[in-house]
Amino acid sequence: MVNEPGGHGGPNPCLEGSSIGRESSKVSSRCSTRTLKPERRERLREKMRRRMESGDKWFSLEFFPPRLAEGAADLISGFDQMGAGGPLFIDVTWHPAGDPGSDKATSSMTIASIAVNYCGLETVLHMTCCCQSQEKITCHLHKAKRLGLKNILALRGDPVGDQWKEEEGGFCYALDLVKHIRSEFGDYFDIGVAGYPKGHPDAGSFESDLKFLKEKVSAGADFIITQLFFEADTFCHFVKACSEIGITCPILPGIFLIQNYHSLQQLVKLSKLEVPQQIKDKIEPIKDNDAAIFNYGIDQAVSLCQKLLASGLVPGLHFYTLNRTMAAIQVLKRLGMWTEDPRRFLPWAVSAHPKRWEEDVRPIFWASRPKSYIYRTQEWDEFPKGRWGNCSSPAFGELKDYYVFYLKSTSLKEEELLKMWGEELSSEESVFEVFTHYLSGEPNQNGCQVTCLPWNDKPLAPGTSLMKEKLLRVNRRGVLTINSQPNINGQPSSHPVVGWGPSGGYVFQKAYLEFFTSPRTVKALLQVLKKYELRVNYHVVDVKGENITNAPELQPNAVTWGIFPGREIIQPTVVDPVSFMFWKDEAFALWIKQWAKLYDKESPSQEIIQYIHDNYFLVNLVDNDFPLDNCLWQVIEDTFELLDRPPQTDREMEAT
């Protein structure tokens, strides 16, 4: 996509402007978790079982909800990066003091729901007995189910004060919570429980704690995640002891990454664990040097994980990230377990909500804003499968300026956006320059790189150099591109840039271009398009909804499709005339809601953005002859040529 980062949305823009034929390409042997088709419909325990049978080690990551909405926005924006490395799942902790079951931006329920629905991540939600009645827990579980969450880590939880206080009508033990979940929800949830390699601090003995763990598994727990520990022998002894009493479910070691002295002290205090003397001896001399402790923590974690993996007792590794993912990524890369893979199940970012498992068709318009599309269609009971079909009234919900959409651009401060988009605009050409700086990657007059636009939340993919000159030329002339894809004629589905879907297939695309432009340019464009009437379909619409098109009424146009062994043709991306009118509202609104709002009311800068919003048109073009060279760039060039001619009367222009 133009203005689309590679690997998550639509096809990569680096091949824009050329017809791409069959070429072999080298790809890695393993897709990331989110894009393996067999895993899309599997339960978490089934994924674990399959990976254990194949000997394919996995990793998982734990996060906690930040206290502030800004911190939640930063955490959410990092989920896509963490998902790219291929975790089997992530889990989100539950803190009673933070109103964890609410709809607040910082609640555990909200963070976990966003990870599932908008980031496509298999997610485990912690649930504790602390400060909750049985009725309240049941309500939280029903809400989790409604939001698409299918995995619960059932815990007693830490007491709010120094001593555990029994909640009236509640549970005192995780065992009771596991039994309750199975009683009320049957087999819907996969359930994890905690294990303590040295025994729970409140248990009478290691043996009695193991017996209690066995009861939790017998009551319905599917897997165990251990408390942190510092030595591999501790975990190996624990696993063998579990095996001896008949515990056979997966046991994941909880890996704590030492990143600074304070966090180590705090976590040890909470977990009531003793730090081995050899680690103390290493830490004490450098306790005031955060960089040195960070590097030591990486080395210590890598060494521990290598020993665990070599033991043959570990199916996967679970990392307590403390929301600091850099250390976890470094450790995983050194272990060879961080495996970013460009292949995608579909050419757009999928959701992990169970009701969307069958979804395989979407309009192309939201390619750079997939989270917005998911939000606006979240109330649908069914989703298109196989084909979009004719839909005269799709029920798109209203898009609110909601914390869910704190993507990279909306989580930036206004001062940062002003430096990118112009602290003061003097003309429409000032806006053109913002688009061209975004495309070129060169610093603007403020010395600032434009890393996002209201319609595109992330920087361009590196491969855009092959199409950069064409894009820069049209944007300098006021054809402000927000979305595009090249024509593709039978690329292997394994292609690292444009490939998607199962191995052994071939993918196809029609060239597509979407942009804002002025009334004058539209007038010339419509004249030019008469020469391409049989080849190019177009929609030209203004903010009021006045639509000019040559497309058959209500007929969707498939612009991406794939052919795979033993399967029907899949057409995951369409240009749908009805959906385009809903997208139009969103696309025009972004001029005001994200850009114009940065300036003082009635200032020249705000008036320029307001003028573009009120007068420009949103245009999409489709070149239906995908085996031929993309003609859309020539359409734009012909338009510029017409604009550059000496002024003509309307009659002369029509004759031309």
Active site residue 62: yes
The CA distance from 284 to 280, in Å, is 6
- State the catalytic residue, choosing from 4, 62, 122, 514: 62
CB 573 within 8 A of CB 555: no
Chain-centre distance for alpha carbon 27: 22
H-helix or E-strand containing 256? strand 251-256
The CA distance from 149 to 146, in Å, is 7
Give the Å distances, CA to CA, from 45 to 86, 191, 192, 510, 642: 17, 9, 10, 40, 63
The residue to which tokens 């042997």 are assigned = 29
Q: Give me the residues paired with residue 148 across strands.
A: none
The CA distance from 333 to 41, in Å, is 28
Q: Give me the residues paired with residue 622 across strands.
A: 512, 537
CB 111 within 8 A of CB 92: yes
The CA distance from 298 to 280, in Å, is 16
Residues near 454 by beta carbon (within 8 Å), at least 6 away in sequence: 409, 590, 591, 593, 594, 595
The encoded tokens of residue 105 equal 């931006």
CB 632 within 8 A of CB 623: yes
The CA distance from 503 to 565, in Å, is 8
Maximum Cα interatomic distance, the chain, rounded to a whole number of Å: 96
The CA distance from 228 to 301, in Å, is 12
The CA distance from 66 to 512, in Å, is 40
In the chain, the N- to C-terminal Cα span, in Å, equals 33
Burial class, 241, CB count within 10 angstroms (exposed 0-12 / middle 13-18 / buried 19+) = middle
CB 488 within 8 A of CB 626: yes
The CA distance from 330 to 332, in Å, is 6
- Using DSSP bridges, classify how beta strands 58-63 and 89-92 pair: parallel, antiparallel or unpaired: parallel
The encoded tokens of residue 18 equal 């050329």
Q: What secondary structure letter does DSSP report for 168?
A: T
CB 109 within 8 A of CB 143: yes
Q: Which residues are catalytic?
A: 62
